[in-house]
Amino acid sequence: MASLDGARNEAPRTSLLNDPVIRGIVYQIVVGVLVVGFIVWIVNNTAINLAAQNKTTGFDFLWKTSGFDISFSLFPFDRTSFYWQAFLVGLTNTILVAVIGIFFATLLGFTIGIARLSSNYLISRLATIYVETIRNIPLLLQLFFWYFAVLKAMPAVKDSIALPLDTFINQRGLFVPKPLIDEGFTFVWIALIVALVGWFLLGRWAKARLERTGKRFPVFLAGLFGSALLIAVVWLISGAHLTFEPPVLNRFNFKGGVELPPEFVALAFGLSIYTASFIAETVRGGIQAVSHGQTEAAQALGLKEGDRLRLVVIPQAMRVIIPPLTSQYLNLTKNSSLGAAIGYPELVNVFTGTTLNQTGRAIEVIALTMLVYLTLSLTTSAIMNWYNARVALVER
Amino acid sequence: MTDFAFVRSEMTAAQPAPNRSSGLVAWLRKNLFASFSDTILTLLGVLFLIWAIPPLYGFLIGRAVPPGGTVEMCRVENVGACWAYIASEIEFFIYGFYPMAEYWRPNVVFALLVLLGAPLLIPKVPFKVINAVVFFVVFPVVAVVLLSGGSFGLREVPTEQWGGLLVTLIISVVGISLSLPLGILLALGRQSKLPIIKSLCIAFIELVRAVPLITVLFMASIMLPLFMPQGMTVDKLVRALVGVTLFSSAYMAEVVRGGMQAIGRGQYEAAQALGLGYWKRTGLIILPQALKHVIPGIVGNFIALLKDTSLVYIVGMKDLLEAVKTKNDAIEWASPTQSVTGYIFAAFIFWVMCFSISRYARYWENRLNTGHKR
């Protein structure tokens, strides 16, 4: 409608009722008044309802002792801890399962997405079956399946199923060896950082030389072997020890090792499997979006197979893949809230569940929970917008 | 001076194509054994199938207890799926606690859904407008009156007694048919040049898309009663419906907006040049093209909504998943494979619905693919 602005400088021959600009203002005032009125009505109702139920409002409850236990947390928490600590435990548990889920979903998703494009009939069919099956079954149902039907049906502790690498699985979860490192390891960490920085500098030098003289340097191989050599030498000299403490079956339970509760295993596993099917589709779409002419043009320029992929196809495919991939990561993070249904103590379970029930501060608790997810989403989309602007096609 | 040594006077018979480029051997060679690494992949795939299929067959069919079997048959060592359990509880999975004497009412609704819905989905059937009016206006009223009763001499059945597939279908059908128009309105608002309307729509869309459905459902089930005037209660089912519809409409809005942005400026300008007003321009020129572009996205949202209906379980609604989970814990059919069987059954139902929607969408995409093929 604003495109008619120019015409308004001429004498308007229409009545005020038909003037699009004035109409627009009227519409907006009407909508604005309705929305404000609606909000006032809701706030008023809520205040009356809360007063009738003798409920207080405010965030002071965060500094009261919680009085409940959380089965799984990264830092100490017990019934004498405060509600804000419960909030933090929920938040860290959400982030923990999201990070692990994202890692495995990416690995599996890229593998299956590429497999779907394979020229091998059997492989591409198997990948298609995976995607079409997993995508069309609700995540909550899959979580129930893994948790109630698979993990809860595992044998009792004394009949644990032994997996390779000293790992055991039973009703109480997954038991994996715990890596133990001594003080000497500080030097190894320093060596690792030095090696990575060196690798990065080597890459810059090689690129500068390539542009100056046209001579290639095998950065990847040199970097890999150089880093490995440096770390190995430092490791040997510093006398650092890396040992694994395997879980050992006692009379009643495993001792030592790391115990991953079944809720965590089921949630991480289910989220990875489910999200991988969507990531696979994203990857497939991204690779197919790069037209075949690009590959042929690269061939005509005389690029080698590896360079063709690395310099021509993958950068263009990534431009298509990355935005939907990030939204899949966000979806995974939001879907981790389904852990509440199988008892994994993440944000929604700890906060919107237990804390809300105990304190009755519905509005504050739900607002805080939504704020967390809102922050996560908005941060991610801000980063995405920055990235999109960076990689966007610059056209004439 | 020409001197032909030989001139053929008739055609020779065509020879069969060489073995290497057609037929089974060539197909195998091209698709399964094209190179050394390809052969290894194929062998790995075959090994996987050999490892996976026999146990799967044994569990689902071979060692399974067919419908009509008894609990004792399901309790033996190393038994397969207990289909007898599904068969004996199927009514609960479909109707929940709906009174048994009144099963004909949901049945009529199911039948109407199919009878009115199917002609709407098949392009060749005439009377689309009448059909649509009946389906979207008359049918919901009839369905509500029939299911909840309390009038026309029907016994009243409160929504707490509804359950199973019935509730899943109600939430998905209502959600799907309300979220698309709502989403279109939100998308139009977001594209609008009126700042207040635009910012309200953006705020709503971004807020809803940023949070998980569970929190929206919690909000609908816990806070909606607080928002209402005193003494006014909202039915639990309606609360879930509001939550699911609002949630889905925000996603729908973004899909529709994507389609609208894909349309060239020339279309808007041409419509303006023809003297069409805003609503005619949008309804006749922009939306038909925009929606056509984004059918895959819209259907993707429908499928997501159908799957998301299972989340209402968390706020205490009794949908299909809840019915299966309740019966999985029931003692009468307690057996080693009871819960696996239950979940496989529920997964299969959801899979059939979602997969057929996506196939139907593929069909429409091909039908509407007018002149955009390369």
Tens of each residue's pLDDT in chain B, 374 residues: 566 677 788 888 888 777 677 778 888 888 888 778 888 888 999 999 999 899 889 888 888 888 877 878 888 878 888 888 888 888 888 888 888 888 888 888 888 888 888 888 887 878 878 888 888 888 888 888 888 877 777 777 887 888 889 889 888 988 888 998 999 999 999 888 888 888 999 999 988 988 899 888 888 888 888 888 777 777 888 888 888 999 999 999 988 888 888 887 888 889 989 988 888 888 888 888 888 878 878 888 888 899 989 888 888 888 888 888 888 888 888 888 888 888 999 999 999 999 998 888 888 878 776 654 44
Nearest by CB to B31, which of A3, A120, A348?
Answer: A120
For residues A305 and A368, state if they share a domain: yes
What residues of chain B lie within 8 A of the CB of A374, using their CB?
207, 210-211
Topology at the third CATH level for domain B84-368: MetI-like fold (1.10.3720)
Does A190 reside within a domain?
A: yes
pLDDT at A134: 93
Does A61 reside within a domain?
A: no
E strand or H helix that includes residue B158: none
Of A52, A73, A91, the one marking the end of a domain is A52
For residues A161 and A253, state if they share a domain: yes
Closest chain B C-alpha to A208 CA, distance in angstroms: 36
For chain A, say whether B32 makes contact (Cβ under 8 Å): yes
Structural domain total, chain A = 3
Does A57 reside within a domain?
A: no
What residues of chain A lie within 8 A of the CB of B223, using their CB?
362-363, 366
Q: What angle do CA A311, A317, A318 make, to 5 degrees?
A: 90
For chain A, say whether B266 makes contact (Cβ under 8 Å): no
User: What is the total residue count of chain B?
Assistant: 374
For residues A204 and A310, state if they share a domain: no
Does A75 reside within a domain?
A: no
For residues A118 and A33, state if they share a domain: no
For residues A160 and A250, state if they share a domain: yes
Note down the domain range covering A130.
83-182+241-391
Burial of B225 (0-12, 13-18, 19+ CB in 10 A): middle
- Cβ distance of A138 and B307 shorter than 8 Å: yes
- Cβ distance of A31 and B351 shorter than 8 Å: no
A218-270 per-position pLDDT tens digit = 778 888 888 888 888 887 777 767 777 777 777 667 776 777 888 898 999 99
- Looking up residue A278, the CATH number of its domain turns out to be 1.10.3720.10
For residues A149 and A219, state if they share a domain: no
Cβ atoms of A298 and A308 closer than 8 Å: yes
Does A204 reside within a domain?
A: yes
Q: Which of B47, B48, B194 should one mutate to test binding to chain A, selecting the residue with the greatest count of A CBs within 10 A?
A: B194
Nearest by CB to B218, which of A122, A142, A352?
Answer: A352
Of A219, A238, A257, the one marking the end of a domain is A238
In whole angstroms, give the CA distance from residue B79 to residue A158.
23
A-contacting residues in B 302-331 (Cβ below 8 Å): 303, 307-311, 313-314, 321, 325, 328
Burial of A302 (0-12, 13-18, 19+ CB in 10 A): exposed
For residues A271 and A358, state if they share a domain: yes
- Cβ distance of B230 and A118 shorter than 8 Å: no
User: What is the total residue count of chain A?
Assistant: 396
* A114 CB neighbour count, 10 Å cutoff: 16
For residues A254 and A301, state if they share a domain: yes
Residue A123: pLDDT above 50?
Answer: yes
For residues A227 and A363, state if they share a domain: no
In whole angstroms, give the CA distance from residue B215 to residue B222.
10
Q: Rounded to the nearest 5°, which phi and psi values hold at B254?
A: -65, -40
Cβ atoms of B159 and B174 closer than 8 Å: no
What residues of chain A lie within 8 A of the CB of B229, using their CB?
45, 48
Cβ atoms of A262 and A143 closer than 8 Å: no
Of A203, A238, A273, the one marking the end of a domain is A238
HSE, side-chain direction, 13 A CA sphere, residue A276: 27
A157-209 per-position pLDDT tens digit = 777 777 777 777 777 778 887 777 777 777 788 888 888 898 898 888 888 88
Largest alpha-carbon pair distance within chain A? 95
pLDDT at B374: 41
What residues of chain B lie within 8 A of the CB of A135, using their CB?
354
Could you tell me the residue ranges of all domains in chain B? 23-62, 84-368
For chain B, say whether A119 makes contact (Cβ under 8 Å): yes
A-contacting residues in B 177-216 (Cβ below 8 Å): 193-197, 200, 206-207, 209-215
For chain B, say whether A154 makes contact (Cβ under 8 Å): no
For residues A45 and A115, state if they share a domain: no
pLDDT band, very low/low/confident/very high, at A105 (cuts 50, 70, 90): very high
Segment A305-320 mean pLDDT: 82
Does A15 reside within a domain?
A: yes
For residues A131 and A194, state if they share a domain: no
- Cβ distance of A27 and B194 shorter than 8 Å: yes
DSSP string, B73-96: HHTSTT---BHHHHHHHHHHHHHB
For residues A32 and A159, state if they share a domain: no
